[in-house]
Structure 1
Amino acid sequence: MNVGIGLPIGDPATLLTWARCAEAGPFSTLGLLDRLVYHNPEPLVALAVIAGATSRIRVQTEVLLAPLRDTALLAKQAATLDRMTGGRLVLGLGIGGRDDDHQATGIDKRTRGRRLDGQMEVMRRLWSGEPYGDGVGAIGPAPARPGGPEVLFGGFQPAALERVARWGDGFLAAAAPSWAGDLFETVRTFWQEYGRDGEPRIVAQVNVALGPQDVIDDARANMHSYYSFTGMADRMVAGLLTTPTGIRDAIAGFADLGADEVMLYCYGLDPNQVDRLADLL
């Protein structure tokens, strides 16, 4: 099973150090979160810089809030990054839940799910080389991967899980092994109902911090700030894995459930965590 690194969002200037360390190690993918009204780096811009500083490792949005973005421009940006990285882009998409993100873009939060479905219909056509429509031509460049970059969807509700089978290539699961299994099976059931070939790719995510106490404290503080809008920040921080045994057990648990990849998401800024996690693996 592949293991990736979820990059910290607290200081964009550190991300190239993280990326180069991960590229030299056993890791498969570098992921980056997306918010608008926050101090995180914009993921497509940041991952483009990271992709230019690496040659092997995949770059993944986890998850990009597509409804906040213009559809045609997003299709062009994703195709460009996919083409220039030789197909290393994984486009993880979601609808987002923060009121302020939607207020800042003027997007009605109540329509975000329907908007994402409409965006996917347009982007799939554009990535296949078809015209935009109504007298408007095609929008290139052609992505490296026929039909567009790999698309994964995050979420928990039935509509989000069905979207994987309708529009996507796989599922991003920000859930513990103890309850992720039901989500995986629901996604696989929808996949079969839609008559899709093969199996959906399943990518799990766990939050980790590995190192001395100051690294763990930094991660907990950053997590609490990031998730404060949910009203469940204390519970999220309590689930942070901080020991080699806990991290190994989570990876093994997801392997038992048939996950294809686990993303070890880091909130602490110390890049030495990459080497510690590599040694753990």
Structure 2
Amino acid sequence: MTGLGAVFRPQLAPERLRAVSRAAEEAGLEELWLWEDCFREGGISTAAAALAWTERLRVGVGLLPVPLRNVAVTAMEAATLHRMFPGRAVLGVGHGVQDWMGQVGARAESPLTLLREHLVALRALLRAERVTSQGRYVRLDDVALDWPPQQAVEVFAGATGPRSLRLAGEAADGTVLTANTPPDGVRRARRLIDEGRAAAGRTGAHKVVVYLLAATGPDAAARVRAELVAEGVEHVPGLGAAGDAQDVAEAVHRLAEAGADTVILQPTGDEPDQEGFVRFAAERVRPLVA
């Protein structure tokens, strides 16, 4: 079955998260995803709060920008969430928006090298390994977690370009694709991810999560188009879904057929009713998604 979730966008004030998380839980939504966008809300702090306010909801963070984070801290925080809320936290890392990274003095000369080193070290630490690394960016000296996760956990990577998609297949357990990825883009991403997996000799499952810009209501089409125009992708076919539950479910199906394991509905930045949006996803779209 195709997984389905929704995004709590960081354009909303942090104090709104409690009500949205509880609405998602009560409606039966499977996953609520959060973003660590500069300079809005912290990914781990919001994830911990959403997990604590709910009992069943899976909470994803997509993504944590690795230039802002020492990998040992990322591992400590990830392990803590997985031990306190087993099976409910989903964490993804990425190289971050380079302009934002430059604003805080964390821009890397080689974002791909940094992401590779971070992924390798992070996954090893979460497997309870003792790690020594003298990489270009990640340097650890005999580091191991005192409280590693008690079960195997997945680490996702955000990727868009060919090299980062191959890296995700090689070094991550899953990939997160942005809402600017149409069905043909998902197929292309799957091929590149599989190339990376083959090069690394990996044969296990690799999950692909795709965001889908979506809106419902009388002004849905105008709101989706305005956001696509702002992103400069209004002429890319297959992006976004506007209309009723059937319209959105059909867009989810197209992404699933292209290779998405989970589709996360992304409301527009001006969504007027975030609680209503998560209920719409859970109660009206979910029954139509096989």
TM exceeds 0.5? yes
Given that 1:3 and 1:28 are in contact with CA atoms closer than 8 Å, whether structure 2 keeps it comes out as yes
In structure 1, how many angstroms separate the alpha carbons of the residues matched to 2:253 and 2:98? Answer: 32
Q: In the alignment, which residue of structure 1 is the partner of 2:45?
A: 45
In structure 2, how many angstroms separate the alpha carbons of the residues matched to 1:193 and 1:136? Answer: 28
Q: In the alignment, which residue of structure 2 is the partner of 1:32?
A: 34
Q: Deviations over 1:71-123 (max 9, x none)?
A: 21111111111111113111111112241x21343223322221121122222
**Per the alignment, do residues 159 and 212 of structure 1 end up closer, same or farther by CA in structure 2, a change over 3 Å counting?**
same
Structure 1 unaligned regions, length at least 5 = none
Structure 1 residue 138 and structure 2 residue 153: aligned?
no
In structure 2, how many angstroms separate the alpha carbons of the residues matched to 1:211 and 1:217? Answer: 10
Structure 1 residue 279 and structure 2 residue 280: aligned?
no
In structure 1, how many angstroms separate the alpha carbons of the residues matched to 2:264 and 2:83? Answer: 24
Q: In the alignment, which residue of structure 1 is the partner of 2:166?
A: 162
TM-score, normalized by length of structure 1?
0.84
In structure 1, how many angstroms separate the alpha carbons of the residues matched to 2:211 and 2:131? Answer: 35
Given that 1:155 and 1:173 are in contact with CA atoms closer than 8 Å, whether structure 2 keeps it comes out as yes
1:272 is displaced (CA, Å) by 1.0
Q: Quote the sequence identity (%).
A: 25
More moved, 58-67 vs 189-198: 189-198
SS in 2 for 1:31: strand
SS in 2 for 1:110: coil
**Per the alignment, do residues 53 and 220 of structure 1 end up closer, same or farther by CA in structure 2, a change over 3 Å counting?**
farther
Given that 1:8 and 1:269 are in contact with CA atoms closer than 8 Å, whether structure 2 keeps it comes out as no
1:217 is displaced (CA, Å) by 7.1
Count of aligned pairs between the two proteins:
269
Structure 1 residue 7 and structure 2 residue 8: aligned?
yes
In structure 1, how many angstroms separate the alpha carbons of the residues matched to 2:272 and 2:48? Answer: 20
TM-score, normalized by length of structure 2?
0.82
SS in 2 for 1:152: strand
Q: Deviations over 1:206-243 (max 9, x none)?
A: 01122353x8877777x58xx96xx637679x944221
1:8 is displaced (CA, Å) by 2.1
Q: In the alignment, which residue of structure 2 is the partner of 1:188?
A: 194
Q: In the alignment, which residue of structure 1 is the partner of 2:205?
A: 199
Q: Deviations over 1:170-205 (max 9, x none)?
A: 111221113321111221232233221233112111
Q: In the alignment, which residue of structure 2 is the partner of 1:80?
A: 80
Which amino acid counterpart does residue 44 of structure 2 have in structure 1? L
Structure 2 unaligned regions, length at least 5 = 133-139
In structure 1, how many angstroms separate the alpha carbons of the residues matched to 2:261 and 2:240? Answer: 21
